[in-house]
Amino acid sequence: MTTQEMQKNIRETFKQRFGEPGELFASAGRINLIGEHTDYNGGFVFPGAIDKVIMAEIRPNGTDKVRVFSIDINDYAEFGLNEEDAPKASWARYVFGICREIIKRGGTVKGFDAVFAGNVPLGAGLSSSAALESCFAFALNELFNDGKIDKFELARIGQSTEHNYCGVNCGIMDQFASVFGKEGNLMRLDCRSGEYEYFPFRPEGYKLVLVDSRVKHELADSPYNKRRESCERVARKLGHETLRDATMEELEAVKGDISAEDFSRAKFVIEEKDRVLAVCDALERGDYETVGRKMYETHEGLSKDYEVSCEELDFLNDIARETGVAGSRIMGGGFGGCTINLVADDRHDHFVAEAKQRFNEKYGHEPMVYDVVISDGARKVEE
Ligand code: GLA
């Protein structure tokens, strides 16, 4: 669905359900060029917002109740604003969590009516949940707090929602990207200091292409949180607050005292944080072949050491190598979702055709392919 069609649908649905129109807000999904699983280790990430959004129409309703309808899930929820009012439906807990986290920080949220929809593909690793959180955090800041909550805090409100209401102990990358995204720019964020820099990203002669495997391996025992625990254990062992400060030499020195699994996890993170910096240098030189090579290294590490890839994504990575794609890797948290590919213009069509055909032959469905358009993050939608 195009963003235009979605907007029309939201307007019509809001009118039918709640009457008087509200205001429209949107926030974006994200990509990450490099720097995976580094955010909660105090390292660097390199994300950007994309042209796929969650959009919501919202109007204060003068009560102490929130009434919200999700067009995509075709479900309605109504809840109060106290801790004990938490809704059961997991999609509604994102909205509830945002309200609660604003209130916990001394901000104001009163009752409102909302209808929302999105075109960020679900389960693709493009962070539709951060888009939803950032859309509501931004909107409630405008509607009830005169825009006084600063943007970084809006991102933290989204992150705390994941921690406290959705069971995912995530880092700050997704919400940061969704709130701060700027058209045509990637951002390098230092997740320890919170310092960030915009990097114009218009590679001459290359495209960024997402290949979405449309598989999602839900692992019962919350593997994301387990990865984070491994990293924290090793950091403690080394006497550091996070792995940001750890070196390979230090890690080698404790190899005999930690599990082989924890060793591999920490090795990946230590290598990955240097890769982000190497990619920044390469980008400044316009050296996209080096950027691409680092992306392959990241994939290798995520697959073998961090073990968050899966057969389907490794297969897509192999196809990228075989068709001469400059760089390719699994993107986001892992266990399914998509690969991000840096593809020279003259290889693009061949790669996409091969990926679709060979994946379909092997897994019985075609992957979805999207050209990445780097766009704005959280905003009020002006009509
Ligand atoms: C998920 C999390 C992020 C980050 C990535 C991996 O998207 O929400 O905080 O850790 O995984 O880089």
Three-state secondary structure string covering 266-289: HHHHHHHHHHHHHHHHHHHHCCHH
The predicted pLDDT at position 216 comes to 85
The predicted pLDDT at position 217 comes to 74
Among 3, 59, 60, 58, CA closest to 28: 3
- Rounded distance from Cα 180 to ligand 1 centre (Å): 16
User: Would you place residue 69 in the very low, low, confident or very high pLDDT band (cuts 50, 70, 90)?
Assistant: very high
The predicted pLDDT at position 105 comes to 98
Nearest atom (ligand 1) to Cα of 172: 9
Nearest atom (ligand 1) to Cα of 40: 10
- Counting every residue written for the chain, the total comes to 383
Q: Is the pLDDT of residue 209 over 60?
A: yes
Q: Which DSSP symbol is given to 282?
A: H
Active site (annotated) includes residue 72: no
Which pLDDT tens digit goes with each residue over 228-282? 999 999 999 999 999 999 999 999 999 999 999 999 999 999 999 999 999 999 9
Give the residue, by CA position, lying nearest to ligand 1 atom 1.
333
Q: Is the pLDDT of residue 39 over 60?
A: yes
- Candidate from 39, 156, 226, 231 with most ligand 1 atoms within 8 A of CB, to mutate: 39
Nearest atom (ligand 1) to Cα of 125: 7
Which pLDDT tens digit goes with each residue over 296-309? 999 999 999 999 99
- Candidate from 174, 295, 308, 309 with most ligand 1 atoms within 8 A of CB, to mutate: 174
Q: Is the pLDDT of residue 314 over 70?
A: yes
List C-alpha distances in Å: 270 to 234, 240, 256, 275. 11, 13, 18, 9
Decide whether any atom of ligand 1 lies within 6 Å of the 174 Cβ: yes
Token output for 198: 């915009």
Distance CA 355, CA 266 (A): 32
Give the residue, by CA position, lying nearest to ligand 1 atom 2.
170
Q: Is the pLDDT of residue 290 over 90?
A: yes
Decide whether any atom of ligand 1 lies within 6 Å of the 37 Cβ: yes
- Which three-class secondary structure state does DSSP give residue 44? strand
Catalytic choice (174, 212, 262, 305)? 174
E strand segments, 327-380 = 327-330, 336-344, 368-371, 379-380
Decide whether any atom of ligand 1 lies within 6 Å of the 367 Cβ: no
- Candidate from 134, 170, 175 with most ligand 1 atoms within 8 A of CB, to mutate: 170
- Rounded distance from Cα 41 to ligand 1 centre (Å): 11
Distance CA 336, CA 356 (A): 16
- Rounded distance from Cα 33 to ligand 1 centre (Å): 13
Distance CA 19, CA 6 (A): 18
Among 325, 382, 151, CA closest to 317: 325
Q: What is the mean pLDDT of residues 142-154?
A: 98
CA angle 294, 33, 364 (to 5 degrees): 90
User: Would you place residue 122 in the very low, low, confident or very high pLDDT band (cuts 50, 70, 90)?
Assistant: confident
Q: Which DSSP symbol is given to 86?
A: -
